[in-house]
Every structure is written in structure tokens, then in C-alpha cells.
């Protein structure tokens, strides 16, 4: 049974693409057959984060418009065999996507993959609505700050009204992924707390990814963070999130920084 | 050249006054197959005899236009024969009604879009009950009566009611009560974090009420021409 999952947020720069790549890679590492679909036509990024930018020949727009066959456009990851990318076009814009074409491509992908992860562009316009249109479940990425949370709230409203499932009167499964979280700053009141965000958005929490230099390092090297440094806290948060998506019971890891004891003993051990 | 102020003051008062007024009109969007649609319409009418006679009506032809010009003409005659007063048409392509007596009807209509249904609860008599949060960007409009919301109203969302508004949750967006009922309407919410509240043409934004009300259960009402916000707890 294939699942179409949209990773969306409304606001830009909150970590949609990073999260798509990390979750997709983690699902693939768990043995699932995964395709990452970059819906950000015109501003494609997912190929860079997967280190596949020099292997792109055909893209989503070519397949949607019927200029290329799906297998010609799919790029298989060199590190995880079951991870694939359907890249976006950098030279076209979102108007090149048609609802009928997207529906056909999603249908074809459903026959080949267990998970179809759609990386949504920012905004609430055509690109974002097409990315969420056929989703079975949604991961809403938000940062702990008011503008991101309000935009996510708007996107949740659209997920509940503009998607196929919503129009058919079915329930749309939604999960919150809180990224760039800093427990220290949250406890000092400089940042929204996890509970504050959950209270406003009122959807189940999939995971909390702490602000971490590992994420940027991995992206710049063309690695999803879960592949580059699986032991990093951010990578672990994504792996746990992927396990939750697969229906495994996992205890959420606390997002807290190292405690006093671990700091003391950690330093002594290093000395 | 701009007129000197003195000349403006001395000019006679204008005789023609152009004013904007809004009216309520019903909107119908007939869907093909039209025969079946008329059967359903007649069933509705039989259940509400007289409710629709002489009501102004705007007909949205965007769906029916696909059936062709003749079908549209039969449709409009059919509506008129049932007592509807058609005052405007929407969704008709320019040439569709050429050389018919429908041609003179306005086709450029400006109005507020019908509110998007939130969690699609069927409208209840005299009011509406909304389950679950009202999300940013959503708008709940119920001109018929009270609106009750079980859940929060997000920042950037709005609730507009003909009567009172009851929110069992945090109000973080806008709430406007009393569109029909006027000064008697009130707003109740179990947690006040609103951006704006209004009752009967009076409104206030968040910067106009004190921090001591923030986060508390409050009621908002119109009291002798002033908006009064008071804590309930």
C-alpha cells in the first residue's frame, strides 16, 4: 500500500527540503522503497541536498507534460538503493504543472513506491496546492516562532479543505515537525515552547529537531543529515520521526541540551 | 489646477447623491443535468412555499453554460416562471446571451465570496456550531444568528455573526458580532488573545485593551455606544 506524504509549511526557509530529504532517507534506510518528489519548480533544491545535482537530465515538468517517461527522470541514490529522486525543473515555473499531469504522475509513482514524499514549495499558491493535492498524510514543518506557526496554521486549514481526501470527506492525517528548536532559548522565554506551538496548531507531534550545525554541514555536502551523521541529535530526531510514520511505537527523545551531569562527565572523559 | 479652498467652500451642495448600499441576494448555480436539477429545486420549493417568491436572485451559469445557449435560455425562463427575480448573472461568457432579453442583466457583480465551510457542518436554524479549531485564513460567516465554536480561533482567522459569538477556546483572530442583531449581541470567549473584536459597528484592536485582560475569559459587548470588554472570571 503506497503512501503519498506532503512536507509543507506555508512559510519559506523553515526546513521543508531538509526534512523531506532526511525523512525520505530514513524511510529508505528502514527498507522502504521511497521517492522524493521536488515540487519547487523554478527553485529546485532537493537535488543539491541529495548530492544528485549533476545527474539531473529530465525532471518533473518533463514527465508531467509527457516529454519524458517516468523511469527516465527518476534518479536512484548511490548510497541508499531504495531512495529515489524525481527532481524539479530549475528553468520553468509552477504554471508548467497541470493538475491532470500531476495526478497521472502520482498515480504512476504509487505503482512503483511505498512512499512518495512530496517536497512542497513555500507559499499557498498553485505549487503548494498541487503538492498537497493527492497526499494521504502531511508533515507540517514549523519553527518555534509566531509567523511560522501562523502560516502553518493556514496550511493546515488548506490541508483540511483543498486536498483530494478532504474533498472526499476523508480524514487528512497531519503531523507536526518542529525544527530549529533551541531548548535553552525556549526555557529562557526567547523562543516559543513546544507546548505553545502544539496548543495553537492542535495536531500530533511527530518530532522536534534541534537547531544544529550538523544539518547545514550535511546539506552542503549533498547528504541528508540521517545519512551523513546518524548519531547527530538532529539525525536521530528524523529517524525516530520516520519510525513513527512507519507505525512503530517510539518514545520521543527529549530535545533538551546536555544536562549538568553529562556536561561534567563528558568533559572529563574527553580530557 | 487645484481649486482654491475658498471656491470649494462656496460651491453649491451637490444635488445628486451616489451612495453604495448592499443587499442580500440569493445565489444559485444550476448544474447539469438540468432536468434533474429542476426536479430537486422543485422539491426544495415545495418544502418552503413562498420563501423564494420575489426574492432577488443571482444565477451562476458557469456550470450550466456547458449545456449550450438554448439550455441556458430554458433554464432562465424556468427560474423566472417559478417566481424568482433574476437581477444578475455570473459565469456567462460574453456572447452567450446576445440578442435575448437577458442580455441587459449585469454580469459584473462584486460581492463577498460565500464563506468557506469549516469542517462542513450543515447550517443550523438560527445559528451555527463549529467543531474544532478555526484555522488562520479561514472565515466563518453566519449572518443568520449566533456562532458557537468549540475550539480555538487562530490568529488571522475571522468569525462574523449576525448574533452573538461563543468561543470555547482561545480567540486569537478576529470576532465581529451583531451584524444583524446590533448592539444586543455579545462575544464570549474562554481565553482572550484576540487581534480585533467588534460588536455592532464598534470595534477595537488588541492594542486598545489592557494586558490585564490578556489570556482571561471575557465578554465583549456594546454598552451605550462604547465597546466594553470585561473579564468573566
State how far residue B90 is from chain A, nearest Cα, in angstroms: 23
Mutate to test the interface with A, among B114, B121, B136, B206 (most CBs of A within 10 A): B136
A270: pLDDT strictly greater than 90:
no
**Selection from A209, A196, A195 nearest residue A237 by Cα:** A209
Q: What is the pLDDT of residue B1?
A: 45
Q: What is the pLDDT of residue A91?
A: 86
Global pTM reads: 0.68
Q: What is the pLDDT of residue B7?
A: 46
Please confirm whether the linkage preceding B33 is cis (ω < 30° from 0): yes
pLDDT tens digits, residue range B45-78? 777 656 666 777 888 888 888 888 888 888 888 8
Positions in chain B whose pLDDT score sits under 50: 1-8, 120-121, 123-124
Does residue A157 belong to the interface with chain B, where contact is any CB pair within 8 Å? Answer: yes
Q: What is the pLDDT of residue B229?
A: 95
Q: Are B206 and B167 in contact (CB under 8 A)?
A: no
B137:A157 CB<8 A = yes
State how far residue A206 is from chain B, nearest Cα, in angstroms: 20
Q: What is the pLDDT of residue B59?
A: 86
Name the strand (E) or helix (H) holding B121. Answer: none
pLDDT tens digits, residue range A90-114? 888 888 899 999 999 999 999 999 9
State how far residue B221 is from chain A, nearest Cα, in angstroms: 26
- Could you report the predicted ipTM of this complex, rounded to two decimals? 0.71
State how far residue A268 is from chain B, nearest Cα, in angstroms: 47
Q: What is the pLDDT of residue A111?
A: 96
H helix runs in chain B, sequence order: 5-10, 34-47, 69-81
Does residue A153 belong to the interface with chain B, where contact is any CB pair within 8 Å? Answer: yes
Average pLDDT over residues A247-265: 56
> What average pLDDT does the structure give for chain A?
91
Chain B residue at shortest CA distance from A157: B135
Between the CA of residue A234 and those of A36, A126, A247, B121, B195, what are the distances in Å? 20, 31, 20, 41, 36
A150:B155 CB<8 A = yes
Bridging pattern class, strands A83-86 and A75-76: antiparallel
Q: What is the pLDDT of residue B201?
A: 86
Q: What is the pLDDT of residue B3?
A: 44
Q: What is the pLDDT of residue A38?
A: 97
A259: pLDDT strictly greater than 80:
no
Cell of A208: 522536534
Q: What is the pLDDT of residue B8?
A: 46
Bridging pattern class, strands A34-38 and A3-8: unpaired
Neighbours of A140 (CB within 10 A): 26
State how far residue B137 is from chain A, nearest Cα, in angstroms: 6
Q: Considering only CB atoms, which chain B residues are within 8 Å of A11? A: none
A154:B137 CB<8 A = yes
A271: pLDDT strictly greater than 50:
no
DSSP codes of every residue in B168-219: EEEE-SEEEE-TTTGGG-EEEEEEE--SEEEETTEEEEGGGS-GGGTTS-EE
B119:A160 CB<8 A = yes
B136:A161 CB<8 A = no
Going through chain A in order, the beta strands assigned E by DSSP cover 3-8, 34-38, 75-76, 83-86, 115-119, 137-142, 173-181, 205-210
Q: How far apart are CA A8 and CA A17, in angstroms?
A: 9
Mutate to test the interface with A, among B116, B118, B135 (most CBs of A within 10 A): B135
Interface of A with B in 115-144 (CB under 8 A): 124
Amino acid at each position: 500500500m503506497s503512501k503519498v506524504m506532503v512536507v509543507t509549511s506555508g512559510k519559506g526557509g523553515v526546513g521543508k527540503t531538509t526534512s523531506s530529504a532526511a525523512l525520505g532517507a530514513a524511510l529508505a534506510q528502514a527498507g522502504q522503497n521511497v521517492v522524493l518528489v521536488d515540487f519547487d519548480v523554478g527553485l529546485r533544491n532537493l537535488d543539491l541536498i541529495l548530492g544528485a545535482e549533476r545527474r539531473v537530465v529530465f525532471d518533473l515538468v518533463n514527465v508531467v507534460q509527457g516529454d519524458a517517461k517516468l523511469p527516465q527522470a527518476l534518479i536512484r541514490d548511490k548510497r541508499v538503493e531504495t531512495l529515489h529522486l524525481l527532481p524539479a525543473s530549475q528553468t520553468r515555473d509552477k504554471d508548467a504543472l497541470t493538475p491532470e499531469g500531476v495526478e497521472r504522475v502520482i498515480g504512476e509513482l504509487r505503482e512503483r513506491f511505498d512512499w512518495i514524499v512530496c517536497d512542497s514549495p513555500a507559499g499557498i499558491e498553485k505549487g503548494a496546492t498541487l503538492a498537497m493535492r493527492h497526499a494521504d498524510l502531511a508533515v507540517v514543518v514549523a519553527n518555534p516562532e509566531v509567523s511560522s506557526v501562523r502560516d502553518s496554521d493556514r496550511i493546515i486549514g488548506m490541508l483540511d479543505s483543498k486536498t483530494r481526501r478532504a474533498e472526499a470527506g476523508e480524514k487528512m492525517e497531519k503531523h507536526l515537525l518542529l525544527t530549529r528548536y533551541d531548548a535553552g532559548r525556549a526555557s529562557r522565554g526567547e523562543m516559543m515552547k513546544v507546548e505553545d506551538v502544539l496548543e495553537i496548531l492542535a495536531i500530533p507531534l511527530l518530532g522536534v529537531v534541534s537547531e544544529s550545525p550538523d544539518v547545514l554541514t550535511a546539506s552542503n555536502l549533498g547528504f541528508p543529515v540521517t545519512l551523513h551523521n546518524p548519531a547527530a541529535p538532529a539525525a536521530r530526531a528524523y529517524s525516530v520521526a520516520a519510525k513513527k510514520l512507519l507505525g512503530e511505537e517510539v518514545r520521543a527523545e527529549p530535545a533538551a541540551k546536555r544536562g549538568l551531569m553529562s556536561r561534567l562527565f563528558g568533559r572529563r572523559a574527553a580530557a | 489646477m487645484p481649486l482654491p479652498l475658498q471656491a470649494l467652500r462656496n460651491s453649491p451642495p451637490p444635488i445628486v447623491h451616489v451612495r453604495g448600499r448592499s443587499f442580500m441576494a440569493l445565489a444559485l448555480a444550476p448544474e447539469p443535468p438540468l432536468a434533474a436539477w429542476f426536479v430537486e429545486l422543485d422539491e426544495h420549493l415545495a418544502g418552503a412555499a413562498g420563501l423564494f417568491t420575489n426574492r432577488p436572485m443571482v444565477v451562476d451559469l458557469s456550470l450550466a453554460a456547458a449545456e449550450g445557449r438554448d439550455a441556458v435560455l430554458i433554464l432562465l425562463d424556468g427560474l423566472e416562471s417559478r417566481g424568482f427575480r433574476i437581477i444578475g448573472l455570473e459565469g456567462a461568457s460574453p456572447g452567450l446571451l446576445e440578442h435575448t432579453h437577458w442580455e441587459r442583466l449585469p454580469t459584473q457583480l462584486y460581492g463577498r465570496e460565500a464563506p468557506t465551510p469549516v469542517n462542513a457542518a450543515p447550517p443550523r436554524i438560527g445559528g451555527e456550531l463549529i467543531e474544532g479549531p478555526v484555522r488562520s485564513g479561514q472565515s466563518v460567516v453566519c449572518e443568520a444568528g449566533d456562532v458557537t465554536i468549540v475550539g480555538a480561533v487562530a490568529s488571522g482567522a475571522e468569525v462574523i455573526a449576525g448574533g452573538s459569538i461563543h468561543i470555547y477556546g482561545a480567540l486569537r483572530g478576529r470576532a465581529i458580532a451583531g451584524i444583524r442583531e446590533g448592539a444586543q449581541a455579545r462575544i464570549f470567549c474562554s481565553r482572550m488573545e484576540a487581534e480585533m473584536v467588534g460588536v455592532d459597528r464598534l470595534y477595537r484592536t488588541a492594542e486598545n485593551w489592557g494586558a490585564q485582560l490578556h489570556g482571561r475569559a471575557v465578554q465583549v459587548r456594546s454598552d451605550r455606544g462604547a465597546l466594553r470588554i470585561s473579564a468573566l472570571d
